[in-house]
Amino acid sequence: MTRSLPIRVRLTVAFTATLVVLLGALAVLVYTRHAAGLDDAIDQGLAARAGELGAIEARQPGVLARAHLPEADETLEAVIAADGRVIDATPNTDAVALVRAIGIPAGHPGGVRLEATLPGFDHPVRLLAAPAGAGAVAVSATALADRDEALASLRGELLIATPFVILGAALLAYLFAAAALRPVELLRRRAATVSAVPGDERLPVGGADDELTRLAATLNEMIDRLRGAAERERRFAADASHELRTPLALLRTELDLALDGERSRAELVAALHSASEETERLIALADDLLLLARADDQRLALRPEPIDAVGLAQRVADRFRRPAAQDGRSVTVAAPAGLQVLVDAAALERAVANLVANALQHGRGEVVIEASPAPPQLRVHDQGDGEASDELFRRFHRGRSRAGGGSGLGLAIVAAIAEAHGGTAGVAAADGRFTAWIALPAAPGGSGAGGEARAERRELQHRDRRRHREPEQRVGADQQHRGGDDGR
């Protein structure tokens, strides 16, 4: 029930409840302290008077009985022998009741203080009995009417004032809570007007280093991230639409030509082959987009295991040697034996293949796949040049070169695979040499006979899987088409 109330109301209720407890305790403390103070004052007066009674009675025997009391129900004085006989007392004293109240002679009352009800007094009286010499006891008493009236007046004032104090404090607490939360409400209203479209809409940040300022700064950072994500989504959708439109348009053209009744059989076969190639391109693009989407959602299915980095690099090099040889180029491997990396073999092989395809598409000269330990890295070198920028790993980015077309997703997939493994990807260019690399986590138990045996078993498994793939030349061309499209 309380959670459904506004924060300002909950703060007010909590503050008021705390204030009620504190003021209640304070009122009780004030009342008890005031009552104790009044009793102490009364006791001091009674003690002083009782201390004088013995001397007065010795000088003037019977003086108390002759005393004139203007208010007979206010005070009482008496001197009592040790055997309970009243030696002298004021006229309003009931000797029997007084002796019974004090307890003489059953117990000798030396310095006794007590409250009792005596005949002739409308209110309880406070008695003090003190030694008066020769075994006698001097008794001084006063009615507690004034004290009770003072305490009753204090109770009334506390009962009247406390609710007003609590009510006023609760109202002020509500106003203070509302004032304190007003900047939060302003932030909420401003945030409600902020859209995902980039613009100048930002939440106001105060100058003070307080919680609201930090909240506004954090929300502005969140808005920037959301806008960046929305912008990337729009750019991704626009680029994907553009890339899909071209093969779809070509596919439609080829099918329209095939449907033309005046075409020869050879032309029909050529049109169907072209349509099949565009379909393969669409499938490859859809696969790439699906992989990147899963990487964005952190749903990229990986099965990391220690594998031989040299064997993986050699498989990629074997796949691209024939397409490279057709252009008068070569693909070689330079790596120490026994280097183990903890990766998903198929994913890493695809990433390295994309790097090699990119080098063949946009570079020159020999392509070298190099592996090195501590930390494990796979690097692909070529003799080309180009921009060594992280922008190359941005999706649909082609750099300055548009040779060979492509979707611009090859290096983006490399970066996604590297990040999914907990590694990184990057590029560098220096002295006419371009290098793209992937850094990966090291595998436990990196090298040795056991590692070589596992590498041999995995090599046999890879060879078995490759028997079911397309011919090597078609695979190499497809990888060149899918991976080497980022430009430099």
Is the alpha carbon torsion for 150, 155, 21, 18 positive or negative?
A: negative
In a shared domain, residues 267 and 332: no
Domain assignment of residue 458, yes or no? yes
Find the CATH number of the domain harbouring 331: 3.30.565.10
- Phi, psi for 383 (deg, rounded to 5): -95, 15
DSSP per-residue letters across 295-356:
HHTT------EEEEHHHHHHHHHHHHHHHHHHTT--EEEE--TT-EEEE-HHHHHHHHHHHH
3: which DSSP letter? G
Write the pLDDT tens digit of every residue in 292-338: 777 766 666 778 888 888 899 999 999 999 989 998 999 999 888 87
| Region for residue 396 given its phi and psi (left: phi exceeds 0; alpha: psi -120 to 50; beta: otherwise) | left
In a shared domain, residues 268 and 334: no
In a shared domain, residues 335 and 459: yes
In a shared domain, residues 233 and 287: yes
| Region for residue 197 given its phi and psi (left: phi exceeds 0; alpha: psi -120 to 50; beta: otherwise) | beta
Domain assignment of residue 174, yes or no? no
- Phi, psi for 137 (deg, rounded to 5): -125, 130
In a shared domain, residues 315 and 455: yes
> Residue 481 above 60 pLDDT?
no
The count of other CB atoms within 10 Å of the CB of residue 236 is 16
Write the pLDDT tens digit of every residue in 20-62: 999 999 999 999 999 999 999 999 999 998 888 888 888 888 8
In a shared domain, residues 290 and 314: no
Find the CATH number of the domain harbouring 240: 1.10.287.130
In a shared domain, residues 92 and 217: no
**Segment (H or E) for 467:** none
137: which DSSP letter? E
Inter-residue contact 363 to 387 (CB < 8 Å): no
Please name which of 40, 8, 31, 133 lies closest in space to residue 82, comparing C-alpha atoms. 133
Half-sphere exposure of 5 (CA within 13 A, CB side): 10
Listed in sequence order, the DSSP H helices in 60-109 are 95-102
Domain that holds residue 253: 211-296
Domain end marker among 253, 272, 296: 296
Find the CATH number of the domain harbouring 52: 3.30.450
Least confident segment among 251-255, 269-273, 421-425, 450-454:
450-454
The domain tally of the chain equals: 3
Q: How far apart are CA 115 and CA 101, in angstroms?
A: 9
Write the pLDDT tens digit of every residue in 159-199: 999 999 999 999 999 999 999 888 888 888 888 877 655 56
Q: Which two tokens stand for residue 183?
A: 């900047």
Helix 211-259 vs helix 145-193: crossing angle, to nearest 10: 30
**Segment (H or E) for 379:** strand 377-382
Write down the pLDDT at residue 265.
Answer: 77
Question: What residue type is assigned to position 32 of the chain?
Answer: T
202: which DSSP letter? -
**Position of tokens 């009482």?**
76
In a shared domain, residues 313 and 292: no
Write the pLDDT tens digit of every residue in 201-218: 677 787 777 888 888 888
Domain assignment of residue 204, yes or no? no
Write down the pLDDT at residue 280.
Answer: 79
Residue-averaged pLDDT of the chain? 79
In a shared domain, residues 327 and 275: no
Domain end marker among 148, 172, 190: 148
In a shared domain, residues 69 and 42: yes
Domain assignment of residue 23, yes or no? yes
Write down the pLDDT at residue 488.
Answer: 62
In a shared domain, residues 369 and 342: yes
Domain end marker among 296, 320, 354: 296
Domain assignment of residue 176, yes or no? no
Q: How far apart are CA 125 and CA 116, in angstroms?
A: 6
Q: How far apart are CA 327 and CA 439, in angstroms?
A: 30
Beta bridge partners of 335: none
Inter-residue contact 34 to 154 (CB < 8 Å): yes
Is the pTM for the entire model greater than 0.95?
A: no
> Residue 12 above 80 pLDDT?
yes
More confident residue, 395 or 108: 395
Domain assignment of residue 126, yes or no? yes
| Region for residue 93 given its phi and psi (left: phi exceeds 0; alpha: psi -120 to 50; beta: otherwise) | beta
Write down the pLDDT at residue 447.
Answer: 43
Domain assignment of residue 488, yes or no? no
More confident residue, 223 or 479: 223
Model confidence at 466, in pLDDT bands (50, 70, 90)? very low
User: Coil, helix or strand for 206?
Assistant: coil
Beta bridge partners of 381: 368, 435
Domain assignment of residue 393, yes or no? yes
Model confidence at 147, in pLDDT bands (50, 70, 90)? very high
Write down the pLDDT at residue 467.
Answer: 39
Give the end-to-end CA distance of the chain in Å, rounded to a whole number.
63
More confident residue, 469 or 219: 219
Q: How far apart are CA 138 and CA 127, in angstroms?
A: 10
In a shared domain, residues 291 and 329: no
Which strands, in side-by-side order, build the sheet including 86-89?
A: 86-89, 75-80, 136-143, 125-133, 112-116
